[in-house]
Amino acid sequence: MTRPVKAAVFGTGSWGTAFGMVLADAGCDVTLWGRRAEVAEAVNSTRTNPDYLPGVELPANVRATTDAAEAAADADFTVLAVPSQTLRENLADWAPLLAPDTVLVSLMKGVELGSAMRMSEVIADVAKVPQERIAIVTGPNLAREIAARQPAAAVVACRDEAVAQRLQVACHTPYFRPYTNTDVVGCELGGAVKNVIGLAVGIADGMGLGDNTKGSLITRGLAETTRLGLAMGADPLTFSGLAGLGDLVATCSSPLSRNHTFGTNLGKGMTLEETIAVTKQTAEGVKSCESVLELARRHGVDMPITETVVAIVHEGKPPVVAVKELMSRSAKPERR
Ligand SMILES: NC(=O)C1=CN([C@@H]2O[C@H](COP(=O)(O)OP(=O)(O)OC[C@H]3O[C@@H](n4cnc5c(N)ncnc54)[C@H](O)[C@@H]3O)[C@@H](O)[C@H]2O)C=CC1
Ligand SMILES: O=C(CO)COP(=O)(O)O
């Protein structure tokens, strides 16, 4: 008899835990690694993660540990679900513990500050594994909705299509429908930049602006994401798929999105410090807007919405002034 697929999930935040549940529902044996003993204990003794997914009962084939070696042992898939800006440091500790042929799976939607590396690049750099053994999961997947087993589609991307297909099987459930893609660059950029556009839409919502503004920001946000993607070798069609438009729509529409909510608080007039103080979870766009802008500059790509978000979040530009400036840019054809 073959043994069940084994998955280790590093990070017991809301998405690590919810995706662990998806893998378990798909038949995998799942071990969550968490930093805090009380979270691991709660998962093992009450089958819940009260800090991150209160009220959600986890399947019996999910357990948790604070011992990284124990989590990593024999894992077919090693899933990484920590904040993008701590991944390098975290993975440096875990790399010596990884099972020899494990596939590393990134759930993260950010770009590293300083290096402007995508998460799959950070993984390759730190764990010294080829891109063919690195996959990502992305798409419109708000953790709380997935944890409620509401239907959603997703993308599993890997340069090696056979590896993407293995992961697709490992996380396919009646409520979670993953599609494969080999355009890792496009899928990762879609996930990271949608957080920046989610901040912009949140700011507009907080200012009391309506759905025309939202529709315009989503569409022009997708246009600047696609421009960057093309310059970086991505397939432009990826951006009209789940990793692009799909995730952008979910994030920009939902009060469950931390990036959207963060932007809304700023748009209502809270300062950056006040907004950070009330944000208990990772809002990747707050830091990644700077690394996305760095990528845009390196590749000579115009990303006016991203630039505006950086100016509001990090340079203290008042949203009202920023909107005026964005609207008074020189007129141009839509497709350029
Ligand atoms: N929550 C969601 O709906 C979704 C989140 N994502 C992405 O997944 C990634 C993780 O997000 P969430 O789980 O939602 O975040 P979260 O804020 O809920 O959890 C983050 C986890 O990382 C841990 N952590 C924080 N700092 C750490 C450090 N220095 N070292 C080790 N662990 C640390 C926290 O203890 C927590 O377990 C992000 O990149 C996010 O963009 C992607 C899709 C959906
Ligand atoms: O990526 C997400 C949904 O797909 C979650 O968005 P937030 O990180 O903004 O909550």
ipTM of the complex in this document = 0.98
Asked if 73 and 151 sit in the same domain, the reply is: yes
Q: Which atom of ligand 1 is nearest to the CA of 107?
A: 8
Identity of residue 185? V
Please report the atom of ligand 1 found closest to the CA of residue 39.
37
Atom of ligand 1 nearest to the CA of 108: 39
Residue nearest to atom 10 of ligand 2 (CA): 257
Domain final position from 160, 182, 204: 182
Ligand 1 near 142 CB (within 6 A)? yes
CA of 92 to the centre of ligand 2 (A): 26
Q: Please report the pLDDT score of residue 2 as a whole number.
A: 85
- Smallest-distance ligand from the CA of 198: 2
308 lines ligand 1 (CB under 6 A): no
Residue 134: give the domain boundaries.
6-182
Answer yes or no: do 210 and 172 share one domain: no
Q: Both 241 and 282 in a single domain?
A: yes
In angstroms, what is the span from residue 147 Cα to ligand 1's centroid? 15
List the strands of the sheet with 134-138, edge to edge: 62-65, 29-33, 6-10, 77-80, 103-106, 134-138, 152-158, 176-181
Dump pLDDT digits (tens) for 166-193: 999 999 999 999 999 999 999 999 999 9
Cα 248 → chain centroid: 11
Helical packing angle, 258-267 and 285-298, nearest 10°: 90
Q: pLDDT tens, 115-129? A: 999 999 999 999 999
Domain boundary among 130, 153, 182: 182
One domain for residues 135 and 171:
yes
**Are residues 145 and 259 located together in one domain of the fold?**
no
| 131 and 21 both lie in a single domain | yes
| Number of independent structural domains in the chain | 2
Q: What number does the ligand 2 atom closest to the CA of 194 have?
A: 1
164 shares its domain with 69: yes
Query: Is any atom of ligand 2 closer than 6 Å to the C-beta of 247?
Result: yes
Do residues 33 and 178 share a domain?
yes
What does the pLDDT read at residue 336?
Answer: 67
Q: Is 214 a catalytic residue?
A: no
Q: Can you give the CATH number for the domain in which 95 is found?
A: 3.40.50.720
Q: Is residue 233 part of a domain?
A: yes
- Per-residue pLDDT of the chain (336 residues), as tens digits, is 688 999 999 999 999 999 999 999 999 999 999 999 999 999 999 999 999 999 999 999 999 999 999 999 999 999 999 999 999 999 999 999 999 999 999 999 999 999 999 999 999 999 999 999 999 999 999 999 999 999 999 999 999 999 999 999 999 999 999 999 999 999 999 999 999 999 999 999 999 999 999 999 999 999 999 999 999 999 999 999 999 999 999 999 999 999 999 999 999 999 999 999 999 999 999 999 999 999 999 999 999 999 999 999 999 999 999 999 999 999 999 986
Selecting among 6, 194, 268, 324, the annotated active-site residue is 194
224 in a structural domain: yes
247 is in an annotated binding site: yes
CATH classification at residue 254: 1.10.1040.10
Residues 51, 169, single domain; the answer is yes
CA dist., res. 24 & res. 9, Å (int): 11
Q: Among the bound ligands, name the one nearest to the CA of residue 246.
A: 2
140 plus 255 within the same structural domain: no
Question: Would you say residue 187 lies in a domain?
Answer: no
Find the 283 Cα to ligand 1 centroid distance in Å. 9
In terms of domains, do 256 and 158 share one? no
Shared-domain flag, residues 154 and 206: no
* In-domain check, residue 83: yes
Residues in the chain: 336
229 is annotated as contributing to ligand binding: no
Q: Which of 115, 148, 182 is the last residue of a domain?
A: 182
Phi (first) and psi of residue 62, to 5 degrees: -115, 125
- 256 occurs within a structural domain: yes
User: In Å, how far are 74, 202, 321 from 207, measured between CA atoms?
Assistant: 51, 9, 12
Buried b (16+ CB within 10 A) or exposed e, 129-163: beeebbbbbbbbbbbbbbbebeebebbbbbbbeeb
Residues 294 and 289: their CA atoms lie apart, in Å, by: 9
